[in-house]
C-alpha cells in the first residue's frame, strides 16, 4: 500500500499541472488525496463499492474495474487519477429538454420551409395577373415601404412572437414587377434598422439564433431551469388582425372571388371589404380571411406552403372563437363562411375524415343558429345558452348570405354522404327559400320559393347555377332514400318511386334547369358540373332498375329502356367534359377546382362504357372513343389519389385491345 502511495505521490505534481484551471478536477484530486491517507477500508465501504459503477477511467477505456475506493487497483498500476461520477438524477431542465428541442426543431423547420418557398417562388413564378414575388410567407411585403409607412423594428419582431401580430400598412396592388427587380439595389441603400422592419425572415432567424444560444447555455449549465415556449393567442378584443391588409392576402382575396366565388357565392364582397377596411378587424373576420387565403393559395402550385400556413391560422382562430365564454363569435356570419370555405379546402385533400369532421361542426352550428329553418325565433338562443340576437335589423343582403351558407352546407352534406354512405343530415322538407338569382353587389330582394315548392310550379323561375345545384342534390337525396327502401319495398312500390324520380329528373333537364343543360350553359363551369352530375344521377337510377329487372326476372324491354337511357347520359357527360376542357382563363381554373365533384360522374361514365363493351354493344367504336376522352380528362383534372385503383389501367387496356383488333382486321 505504501508503494502505491509513493507512486501516486510522484505522479501528483504532473497530474495537478495538467489539470490547472479546472475546478472539477481539483476537487477530484482532493478526494483522491483524502482517500490515500486512509490505510484501512471499512466493511461498509467494501459493500458500497459493490454497488458503485466503474470509475470514469475504466469506463472510458472499457476495461474491468474492481471499483475500490479511489484509487482502484488498475488506476494505481497505470499511475492515473481515479475518480467516480455519481448517477445523475433527472433535473427539471433535463425533463423539459425534449420539449425545448422539439420547439427548436419546429422553428428551424419553419425557417427552412420559408427559405425553400422563397427560393422556389423566385425561380418559378405562376403565370397570373398578380405578382406573387412581392411578398413573403406571412403576407408581409418584401419591398421597402415609404419612410412614413415603415413599421418599427419592434413590430416586425413581435410578428413571430404571437398570433396575430401588429397591423402592417397596405400597399398598392398594381405595383410593377420592375420594383421587385430593383430590390437588391434599394435594399443595399437602406439602413439596417429599416431593412429589419420589412424583412421578417431576418427577424425570425435572429430569434432562432437567440434560442440556439439558450440551448448552448442549458447544455453547459444543467441546473438552469427551462420553461417551454408558450405562444399566447390574443383575445378577440385585444389584438388587431396582422396580415389581412398585407399584399399577398389582398391578392389572394382577388383570386378567391375570381376562381371560387362562382362555386360557392356565399360572401358579399362589398360587406367583406368594408369590414376589412376597419382599423381593427375582428377575429371572426381574420378567420374568414385566412380561410379564403388558404383556398386561393391552394389553387396555385407554387403557394402550397402558404395554403397550409393560412389553413392552420384559420383553424386556430375558429377554435379560439368556439372557446369564447359568451359565444358571441359563433353568431357571426364570418365564422360560418370560414367553416364552409375550410370544408371545401379539406374536401380537396386526401384526408376525407378531417373534412367530414369540419363539415359536421359547421352543420351543428347552423342548426344551433336556426339557419335551417326560416321561422326560427329568439328562444332558440336561450336554449343553447347564447346571448340574445342583436337589436339591429338584418338587411336582405345579410339574410341572403346566411341562406347561401346553409345551401352550401346542404350541398356538401349530400356530397359527403355519397362518399361515406351515411344518410345526409338535411332531409325532408326544408323551410328555407332558395338562393337568389341576383349577385352581389346588385342584390335584389326577390322572393324565392322553397325547395319542395319548385317542382310544383307551373311558371318558369330564374335559377342561378348555384340554386340549380340544390335541386340536383335534392333529387340525389330522393334517389338515396329510394335505394335504402328498395330492399324491403314491393316491386310495385319500387317502380312507382323509380318513375317518379325519373320524371322529376326530366322535368329539371327540360324545364327548370334548361338554361344550364344540353349545351345552354355556355362557359359556366358550375353549370357544366351540374350537367355532369345530373346525368350521373340518371345513370345510377336506371342501373338500379337493371338490377331489379334481373332480380325479379321482369320483361326484357325494361332492361333495354334502362340501357338506352344510360347510354344517352354517358354521351351527354362526354359532351360536358369536352366543353369544360375547352375553357380558358379563369373559367378553366374554376372548372379544374371542381375536380373533387367530377370523380363520381367520370368514374360512373367509364364503368358504363366497360359494361356496354362487355355486353357487345353495336356502337363499340363509340364507347372506345368515350373511354379515351374520359380517361384523358380524368388524368388532366383529377388528383390521382382520388381515382379508384385500377380504373385508368382497365380503360387503357380496353383501348389497347380495341386498337389491336382494328389492326388485325
Domain check: are 73 and 122 in the same one? no
Domain check: are 409 and 550 in the same one? no
Please, which residues bridge with residue 141 across strands? 135
SS3 141: strand
- Ramachandran quadrant class, 3 (left: phi over 0; alpha: psi -120 to 50; beta: rest): alpha
Give pLDDT, residue 30: 47
**Among the listed ranges 79-83, 364-368, 465-469, which one has the minimum average pLDDT value?**
79-83
User: Cα(393)–Cα(444) distance, rounded to whole angstroms?
Assistant: 17
User: Cα(406)–Cα(306) distance, rounded to whole angstroms?
Assistant: 28
Asked whether residue 293 is domain-assigned, the answer is yes
Per-residue cell: 186: 434599394
User: Cα(7)–Cα(80) distance, rounded to whole angstroms?
Assistant: 10
User: Cα(79)–Cα(10) distance, rounded to whole angstroms?
Assistant: 9
Asked whether residue 88 is domain-assigned, the answer is no
Domain check: are 387 and 464 in the same one? no
- In angstroms, what is the C-alpha Rg of the chain? 36
Instruction: From 78, 110, 128, give the residue that closes a domain.
Output: 78
Asked whether residue 60 is domain-assigned, the answer is yes
The residue count for the chain = 665
Instruction: Quickly state the pLDDT bin for 67 (edges 50, 70, 90).
Output: confident
The mean pLDDT of the chain is: 74
Domain check: are 211 and 334 in the same one? no
Asked whether residue 41 is domain-assigned, the answer is yes
Q: How many distinct structural domains can be found in the chain?
A: 4
At 57, which helix (H) or strand (E)? Answer: helix 56-61
Give pLDDT, residue 576: 94
Per-residue cell: 228: 417551454
Domain check: are 381 and 258 in the same one? yes
Domain check: are 102 and 39 in the same one? no
Give pLDDT, residue 126: 39
Asked whether residue 429 is domain-assigned, the answer is no
Looking at per-residue confidence, does 396 or 519 come out higher? 396
Please, which residues bridge with residue 431 across strands? 373
**Model confidence at 350: pLDDT above 90:** no
Asked whether residue 232 is domain-assigned, the answer is no
**Model confidence at 129: pLDDT above 70:** no
Looking at per-residue confidence, does 54 or 586 come out higher? 586
Domain check: are 207 and 251 in the same one? no
Domain check: are 74 and 97 in the same one? no
Asked whether residue 49 is domain-assigned, the answer is yes
Q: What percentage of the chain carries pLDDT values higher than 70?
A: 65
Domain check: are 457 and 381 in the same one? no
Per-residue cell: 550: 334481373
Instruction: From 53, 78, 103, give the residue that closes a domain.
Output: 78
Domain check: are 70 and 120 in the same one? no
Give pLDDT, residue 520: 61
Domain check: are 98 and 59 in the same one? no
CA contacts within 13 A on the Cβ side of 35:
20
Q: What is the domain range of residue 471?
A: 451-664
Asked whether residue 196 is domain-assigned, the answer is yes
Instruction: From 367, 398, 420, give the residue that closes a domain.
Output: 420
Which among 230, 232, 250, 242 is positioned nearest to 283, based on CA atoms? 242
Mean pLDDT across 228-244 = 39
Per-residue cell: 113: 420551409
In the chain, how long is the greatest CA-to-CA distance?
120
Domain check: are 398 and 270 in the same one? yes
Mean pLDDT across 388-401 = 75
Looking at per-residue confidence, does 280 or 45 come out higher? 280
**Model confidence at 367: pLDDT above 80:** yes
Amino acid at each position: 500500500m505504501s508503494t502505491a502511495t509513493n507512486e501516486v505521490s510522484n505522479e501528483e505534481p504532473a497530474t495537478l499541472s495538467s489539470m490547472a484551471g479546472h475546478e472539477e478536477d481539483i476537487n477530484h484530486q482532493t478526494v483522491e488525496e483524502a482517500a490515500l491517507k486512509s490505510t484501512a477500508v471499512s466493511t461498509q465501504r467494501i459493500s458500497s463499492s459493490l454497488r458503485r459503477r466503474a470509475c470514469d477511467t475504466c469506463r472510458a477505456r472499457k476495461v474491468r474495474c474492481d471499483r475500490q475506493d479511489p484509487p482502484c487497483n488498475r488506476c494505481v498500476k497505470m499511475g492515473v487519477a481515479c475518480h467516480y461520477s455519481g448517477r445523475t438524477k433527472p433535473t427539471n431542465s433535463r425533463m423539459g429538454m425534449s420539449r425545448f428541442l422539439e420547439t427548436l426543431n419546429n422553428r428551424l423547420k419553419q425557417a427552412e420551409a420559408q427559405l425553400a418557398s422563397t427560393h422556389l417562388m423566385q425561380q418559378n413564378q405562376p403565370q397570373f395577373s398578380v405578382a406573387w414575388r412581392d411578398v413573403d410567407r406571412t403576407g408581409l411585403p418584401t419591398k421597402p415601404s415609404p419612410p412614413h409607412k415603415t413599421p418599427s423594428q419592434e413590430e416586425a419582431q413581435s410578428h413571430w412572437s404571437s398570433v396575430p401580430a401588429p397591423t402592417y400598412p397596405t400597399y398598392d396592388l398594381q405595383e410593377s414587377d420592375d420594383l421587385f427587380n430593383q430590390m437588391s439595389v434599394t435594399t443595399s441603400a437602406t439602413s439596417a434598422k429599416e431593412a429589419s422592419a420589412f424583412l421578417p425572415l431576418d427577424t425570425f432567424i435572429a430569434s432562432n439564433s437567440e434560442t440556439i444560444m439558450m440551448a448552448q447555455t442549458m447544455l453547459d449549465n444543467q441546473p438552469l431551469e427551462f420553461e417551454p415556449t408558450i405562444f399566447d393567442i390574443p383575445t378577440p378584443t385585444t389584438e388587431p388582425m396582422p396580415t389581412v391588409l398585407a399584399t399577398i392576402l389582398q391578392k389572394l382575396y382577388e383570386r378567391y372571388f375570381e376562381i371560387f366565388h362562382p362555386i360557392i357565392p356565399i360572401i358579399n364582397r362589398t360587406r367583406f371589404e368594408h369590414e376589412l377596411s376597419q382599423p381593427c378587424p375582428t377575429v371572426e373576420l381574420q378567420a374568414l380571411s385566412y380561410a379564403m387565403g388558404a383556398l386561393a393559395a391552394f389553387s396555385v402550385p407554387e403557394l402550397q406552403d402558404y395554403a397550409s400556413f393560412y389553413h392552420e391560422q384559420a383553424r386556430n382562430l375558429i377554435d379560439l372563437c368556439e372557446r369564447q365564454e359568451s359565444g358571441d363569435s359563433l353568431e357571426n356570419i364570418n365564422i360560418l363562411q370560414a367553416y364552409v370555405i375550410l370544408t371545401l379546402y379539406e374536401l380537396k385533400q386526401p384526408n376525407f375524415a378531417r373534412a367530414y369532421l369540419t363539415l359536421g361542426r359547421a352543420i351543428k352550428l347552423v342548426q344551433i343558429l336556426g339557419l335551417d329553418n326560416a321561422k326560427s325565433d329568439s328562444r332558440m338562443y336561450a336554449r343553447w345558452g347564447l346571448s340574445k340576437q342583436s337589436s339591429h335589423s338584418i338587411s336582405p343582403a345579410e339574410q341572403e348570405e346566411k341562406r347561401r351558407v346553409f345551401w352550401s352546407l346542404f350541398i356538401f352534406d349530400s356530397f359527403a354522404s355519397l362518399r361515406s354512405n351515411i344518410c345526409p343530415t338535411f332531409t325532408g322538407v326544408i323551410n328555407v327559400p332558395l338562393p337568389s338569382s341576383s349577385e352581389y353587389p346588385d342584390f335584389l330582394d326577390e322572393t324565392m320559393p322553397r325547395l319542395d315548392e319548385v317542382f310544383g310550379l307551373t311558371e318558369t323561375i330564374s335559377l342561378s347555377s348555384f340554386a340549380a345545384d340544390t335541386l340536383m342534390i335534392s333529387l340525389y337525396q330522393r334517389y338515396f332514400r329510394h335505394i335504402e327502401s328498395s330492399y324491403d319495398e314491393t316491386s310495385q312500390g319500387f317502380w312507382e318511386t323509380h318513375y317518379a324520380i325519373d320524371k322529376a329528373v326530366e322535368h329539371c333537364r327540360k324545364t327548370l334547369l334548361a338554361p344550364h343543360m344540353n349545351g345552354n350553359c355556355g362557359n359556366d363551369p358550375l353549370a357544366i358540373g351540374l350537367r355532369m352530375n345530373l346525368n350521373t344521377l340518371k345513370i345510377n337510377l336506371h342501373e338500379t332498375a337493371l338490377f331489379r329487372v334481373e332480380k325479379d326476372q321482369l320483361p326484357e324491354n325494361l332492361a333495354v329502356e334502362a340501357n338506352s337511357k344510360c347510354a344517352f347520359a354517358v354521351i351527354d357527360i362526354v359532351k360536358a367534359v369536352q366543353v369544360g376542357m375547352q375553357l380558358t382563363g379563369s373559367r378553366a381554373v374554376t372548372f379544374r377546382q371542381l375536380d373533387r365533384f367530377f370523380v363520381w360522374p367520370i368514374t360512373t361514365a367509364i364503368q358504363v362504357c366497360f359494361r356496354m363493351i362487355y355486353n357487345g354493344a353495336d356502337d363499340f367504336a363509340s364507347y372506345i372513343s368515350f373511354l379515351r376522352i374520359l380517361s384523358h380528362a380524368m388524368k388532366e383534372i383529377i388528383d390521382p389519389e382520388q381515382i379508384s385503383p385500377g380504373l385508368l389501367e382497365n380503360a387503357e387496356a380496353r383501348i389497347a385491345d380495341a386498337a389491336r383488333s382494328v389492326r388485325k382486321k
